[in-house]
Structure 1
Amino acid sequence: MPNEKKKQPNLEEKGENRMQPSYEEKTEKFSMIRKKPHHVPPHLHNAIELVYVTKGELELGVGYELYHMEKGDFAVVFPDLIHHYQVFSKESNEVYQIYASLELSGPFMALLQKKCPENPVIKKENLPYEIKNSLECLISGEKVNEIVGQAYLQIILYQCNNMLQFIEKDRVGSNDLIYSVMTYLLSHFQEELTLGSVAEALGINKFALSKVFSGIFHTNFNQYLNEIRLNYASSLLENTDRRITDIYLEAGFESQRTFNRAFQQKYGRTPSEYRKTWWGK
């Protein structure tokens, strides 16, 4: 099957996938997650992300494009690019996501900072042995230390550099008001924000900004901001054992009561119950 690339569906088609992004600050230099993929709203982070599908199917969205991935397919997402995931298959799905900091990229750092792949997916049938072997070694079950991770990462990036076509990062997405709003909120959602303060920071009228949320995102400013914060908080609940008190404060909520109410409204359960579904305890 050729490498599929298609425009993302209308944002109104799936309510749970409206463009409500979150920002993730990756603090570990090298980490890996094996997971059953699910809908993940638009987000960005400061790490290189390698995506390897080992069961089923996955839709990877980068900027305004959507790429279909199947078992054995691989993708690389460069740092600071808005991306998301969708899963439509009812079959068993599994994906490995590997995160590495820029400083591990060695001679590829300038490329990662300034450019990105025009199409980030390499289909199974075109995947070089060096990339497949590196991925299989990384997911073999033994914990990978930073030095070993760096070695495999640079092998993978070397092959990607030879295979993929690259474009300037500012060509992904848009420089218009919508993209400016998204990127600003991704970077500042942990702060105390109002519609007026964001409008002032972006140098626009707050009524014009309000129309962006109602007309494009089909929500209001506060609901949109809460979605970003909830996405961030749920990620911490899934992947860390940090106290819920610390999580809601770091996510930008002013009180645990506000956080609990918003969280239960979105997920249909309390933060503690949500964590149990992931951790089993």
Structure 2
Amino acid sequence: MHSGDVILVNPNEIHSTQSPDHNHILVIQFPMDFLQKVTSGKYYELFEFDLNTVKSRNSTDDLLVILNRLVALANQYTIIDNLTATANIYALLALLCRNYISQLPIEKRHNNADLTLLGNITGYIQLHFRERLTLPMVAAQFGYSVSYFSKFFAKRMNLTLSEYLQQLRLNTANELLLHSDDTLTNIAYNSGFSSYRNFYNAFLENYQVSPTKYRQQYQHDKILHVEP
């Protein structure tokens, strides 16, 4: 990302942030129930947001005006400032809904029951991903057949359970590589990988560099942060 870039991440999208350089990034997180309320339940049921200026150079001048106002109000606490910030939040969401949405095809639409179930599933996985988890184990935990659970998860998450687990484990390993002096083998096991070789291959495929070289390149910059 560069100055002025904006990326919008929808629910249940695997993502991480990495920054070897000193910088400031504005992060705004909207609670799902709030987005559902202000869009009359249409967000994530009929549409999702579609904005990533790193991949596609959309014009975001109006958006940046609002974001800069919110930055200026970040440390202001008067009633007027709070009301002004709230007004800008609603203006931001109105602009996003006007210009940066993508209609969901019928097979990708979510309902509240699916969202609740998916939240419970991902919550369980995030608690246990450092352990040995298999598709049959997670399916059984929620009372579903392997076939049904596999299709449901892949459809709602746009990736398989094994791909989701790998990303969670890689994000954890990345954090440990940069902010600990632990050995690579321990990092692999503490992140949930079954062996160092599996960790090495997954890391190399994802980052195009070995864990050792990655650590040597970035660990000196303690401001770097990775967040799953």
* TM-score, length-scaled by structure 1: 0.45
Match of 1:248 in 2: 188
Q: 2:75 aligns with which of 124, 127, 135?
A: 127
Contact 1:20–1:224 (CA under 8 A) maintained in structure 2:
yes
Three-state SS of the structure 1 residue aligned to 2:28 is: strand
Residues 230-277 of structure 1: CA deviation (Å, up to 9, x unaligned): 111111111111111111111111111111001101111111111112
Match of 1:177 in 2: 117
Contact 1:21–1:182 (CA under 8 A) maintained in structure 2:
no
CA RMSD of aligned residues (A): 4.0
Distance 1:271 1:196, change over 3 A: same
Match of 1:92 in 2: none
Q: Which amino acid aligns with 1:211?
A: K
Contact 2:135–2:161 (CA under 8 A) maintained in structure 1:
yes
* CA distance in 2: counterparts of 1:244 and 1:62, whole angstroms: 36
Distance 1:268 1:126, change over 3 A: closer
Match of 2:163 in 1: 223
Is 2:23 the partner of 1:20?
A: no
1:206 to partner: Cα distance = 2.1
Q: 1:237 aligns with which of 161, 177, 180?
A: 177
* CA distance in 2: counterparts of 1:21 and 1:56, whole angstroms: 18
Residues 200-232 of structure 1: CA deviation (Å, up to 9, x unaligned): 112222222211332122222211111111111
Q: 1:265 aligns with which of 205, 208, 223?
A: 205
1:189 to partner: Cα distance = 0.2
Q: Unaligned stretches of 5+ in structure 2? A: 1-7, 35-50, 55-69, 87-113, 222-228
**Number of equivalenced pairs:** 152
Q: Which amino acid aligns with 1:276?
A: Q
Contact 1:189–1:228 (CA under 8 A) maintained in structure 2:
yes
Q: Structure with the greater relative contact order (CA < 8 A, sep ≥ 6): 1 or 2?
A: 2
Q: Unaligned stretches of 5+ in structure 1? A: 1-7, 12-17, 23-36, 40-53, 67-85, 90-121, 131-159, 165-173
1:21 to partner: Cα distance = 7.2
Distance 1:278 1:65, change over 3 A: farther
Select the structure of larger CA radius of gyration: 2
* CA distance in 2: counterparts of 1:9 and 1:129, whole angstroms: 28
Contact 1:238–1:275 (CA under 8 A) maintained in structure 2:
yes
Deviates more, 1:56-65 or 1:228-237: 56-65
User: Which of the pair is proportionally richer in strand?
Assistant: 1
* TM-score, length-scaled by structure 2: 0.54
Q: Which amino acid aligns with 1:210?
A: S
Percent identity over the alignment is 27
1:64 to partner: Cα distance = 4.1
1:123 to partner: Cα distance = 4.1
Contact 1:21–1:186 (CA under 8 A) maintained in structure 2:
no
Match of 2:135 in 1: 195
